[in-house]
Amino acid sequence: MTQTDPYLWLEDVDSDQALDWVRARNAETATALEASDEFRATEAQILEVLDSDAKIPPIAKAGDWYYNFWRDAQHVRGVWRRTTLASYRTDEPEWDVLLDLDALADAEEENWVWHGAAVLRTGPLAFTRALISLSRGGSDADVTREFDLEKRDWVADGFVRPEAKGDVSWIDEDTVFVETDTGPGSMTESGYPRIARRWRRGEPLAESEIVFEGAHEDLSIGAFHDRTPGFARDWVVRATSFYTSERYLLTDGEDGGVTLTKLDVPDSSETSVKRDQMLVELREDWEVGGLTYEAGSLLAIGFAAFLDGARDFTVLYAPTPTSALAGYTFTANRLVLEVMTDVRSRLEILTPPATPGAEWDRVDARHVPELGTLQVGPVDADEDDAVWLYTTDYLTPTTLSLLDLGPRGVNAKPVPLKSMPSYFDADGLLVEQHFAASADGTRVPYFVVRPRDLAYDGTAPTLLYGYGGFEISLTPAYSGGLGRAWLSHGGVYVVANIRGGGEYGPTWHQAALRDQRHRAYEDFAAVARDLVERKITSPEHLGAMGGSNGGLLTGNMLTQYPELFGAVVVQVPLLDMQRYHLLLAGASWIAEYGDPDSGDWEFLATFSPYHLFDADRPYPPVLFTTSTRDDRVHPGHARKMAAKMLEAGKDVTYYENIEGGHGGAANNAQAAHMSALAYRFLWSRLA
């Protein structure tokens, strides 16, 4: 098996032999797909959306400024800039450009990709310094440098973290937490930092104070500073697997060392502390204090009381068979819950009690849309009770509003700030939700975006999209590129909310973990069959598409259910499940899939497309796409599967972007190119 794999040489990412093979496949794809007028038109339409000046610039507040990172046709790699709220409200805000990434990349002769910035918010240097992270080519590994916002330049002798997977975060103007590669033994077997350090200005990174060391087999270690006025705290998080972690309160001891207090909560839970309240979101049932709390619940308790031994939690949210907690957001005095019922969003506004042990005040948010997707984020959780509110669905362009929750938030009305323009004509389209019965009888929801006058004769080119993993939910969202490249041509778009995702909470995810993975694939196949039974489409006109874990999904559709599809797109995928844990970040996903070096291989082999491929079996045409610079999911998965299928004479199209990281693209032009490849491939095969 692994020892006799004839395509192992394709795992050598940058070898001349492997890259020659990649360039040859890319040239074939250029001839087959990219040379057509239809491809160029589709690519141009998508790029126009991505480069549009009319997109909503997302902003984050720091001090009196509102920061944004922006890409367009003039700023291919992007600019980091800021403005005032008053200016942002206008049609043409005045932006103060702090860093031009295109100019920086040219000056330093590097293919820099933006990875984010953190502005210092406390102390004498508050709002004048930032930590900026940049990636070469879009890889997960990046560098971090200290930036002077007033001088618009890097700080001489400032904090600099060399290239690695990791992070740096502010404690104060002269101190940061850092987790990074500092030499042999400093990283976990998953390729993430094993050690958290407190790094003081001017001292060598390798000599900085170690505040926590994890085990080599851990997933990662992280440390951060909560700067909330009056409640400043330092924390360490030890991720022992993708779904388990330990959280420690870090305090300085009198002897100059540190004291770590582990929070006595389930390792599978997600825990957060804000001011005097601690929230615990459960992934599994928890028996504590004489009560059993259900998986998917959100619990609250006074933090000081909890440290003193109290366990009398208040249930802020309890799941139902059709609803789940999608997220929550703290403001200065409120807690906003995002709840999904059958994958449709609503908001609840809660106010903590003034006295310990009293009930939380609760109201439903009014004056917000009842359908589609709602997402909120704090404007400044230390200062006020305002939140950013994003609203969207498949046919309604996204709107960003400012929602001031005020007293209890009862009559809070969103104040629209920006709306995305309509990039395609949606008048003749509608969205509907259906449910398919999976192999075990489970109801699986899915959304259909279709022409109102659809002829139910099974001939509509239909794109079925899915993910089904890591508790990630697929919710309705507007896409100008999808609308232009697919819907505007008469195509039907379908999103399957299969198990493995988070649409119905942690139990929906856990139902497709490890040896139960087949349920996610049975769910997706059930949706495909339901579309045919409804005569929306037929197998020869039905395509499947997914990326990353979704690439594993579509790889299994290709190998296990080839009769259901007329074409399959497999993007930045996992496919060789016998070696995935040995490649890049693969070991971090053992909790999701299983360990191939143990008895788990018996069930892993049942959903390893690379091993399920049968040269004598017919398969639909397939497009594999990946990125040379993806340092999360190894490009060898796509390379080896494509090579294996090509040798067997199958209809395979392959494209590998030399840049791009796990997202597949390092800039808008590359993203437009990759999207156009997928849409034109599907249209050419399904229409």
Q: Are 42 and 676 in contact (CB under 8 A)?
A: yes
pLDDT tens digits for 17-70? Answer: 999 999 999 999 999 999 899 999 999 999 999 999 899 999 999 999 999 999
Secondary structure (3-state) at 250: strand
Buried b / exposed e along 381-408 (16+ C-beta atoms within 10 A): beebbbbbbbbbbbbbbbbbbbbebbeb
Tokens coding 686: 């399904």
pLDDT tens digits for 313-371? Answer: 999 999 999 999 999 999 999 999 999 999 999 999 999 988 877 889 998 887 787 77
Query: End-to-end CA distance of the chain, in Å?
Result: 39
Give the distance from CA 604 to its chain's centroid: 24
State the pTM of this model: 0.92
What phi, psi does 484 have (nearest 5°)? Answer: -75, -45
Q: Are 129 and 172 in contact (CB under 8 A)?
A: no
Secondary structure (3-state) at 218: coil
Residue 2: its pLDDT value, please?
Answer: 45
d(CA 232, CA 687): 59
Give the architecture-level CATH label for domain 2-48+426-686.
3-Layer(aba) Sandwich (3.40)
d(CA 327, CA 340): 9
Report, as an integer, the average pLDDT of 548-569: 98
pLDDT tens digits for 598-633? Answer: 999 999 999 999 999 999 999 999 999 999 988 889
- The one-character DSSP state at 155 is P
pLDDT tens digits for 231-242? Answer: 999 999 999 999
Residue 629: its pLDDT value, please?
Answer: 85
Locus of tokens 């998965």: 637
Q: Give the start-to-end residue ranges of the domains of the chain.
A: 2-48+426-686
pLDDT tens digits for 64-106? Answer: 999 999 999 899 999 999 999 999 999 999 999 999 999 999 9
Active site residues: 548, 662
**pLDDT bucket at 483, cuts 50 / 70 / 90:** very high
